[in-house]
Structure 1
Amino acid sequence: EYGLGSKASVEGDVYSYGILLLEMITGRRPTDQMFNGGLSLHKSAVMALPDQVIEIADPRLLGDDIDGSNSSRIQRSDTAHADGLKECLNSMVRIGVACSLEPPQDRMSISDVIHELQSIKARSLQ
């Protein structure tokens, strides 16, 4: 957003955080060649929610990817761990999407982001 000439603002910082979060989860930059023709990092994340988030996740987040398919690796792991991982990734992608919404006033507040991240951490440590 700042790269497009926007002035610095809290909403712009939240947008940047959301895009950074999506970049870390997917391993892709907003300028990746796959994002053309109206597709963006934000839109691809929206389309993946809630059932395909594992498919857009960077395989390095999930450990060694034996056969190239994130979902098959998750299916091979124990059910409780797989469900927890899917829930965590879904929650993180939802935060990234909510932070990068247009228009800026629709974005998640940073205090809500912190609260959600603390909730995700608490759930994952159970």
Structure 2
Amino acid sequence: DHLISHILAEISQTTLNGHPERRTPQNANITFHFIEGESITLHLDMHGFAVSTGSACFSRSLEASHVILGIGGDHERAHGSIRFTLGRYNNLKEIDELIKTLKEVIGELRKISPLGKD
């Protein structure tokens, strides 16, 4: 999967949540260590990208993802997780633009994060 492979290869301190192959192909949940997922969500929204910190059922909740906790992740991992959902009309150019913007956002947030450094 283009999105997952590029995020994991190009942004350090990232972890794919869930099985790498046995999952729905349009969804990816990735932890960005040392950053609050809500900060990532807000910054990406300012750039026109809609992502979430939890499942669609709990997208408005600031609670730690019960799914990440359920698969053995801790609260820090759950709070640093972002859910990406691609639609049938998303194209490679849009995905590459998301990856580029995400790299910039993560870099900026890690510079100011009190949780740790890259």
In which range does the TM-score fall when normalised by the shorter chain?
0.3 to 0.5
More helix by share: 1
TM-score (ref. length: structure 1): 0.39
Structure number with the higher strand fraction is 2
TM-score relative to the length of structure 2: 0.41
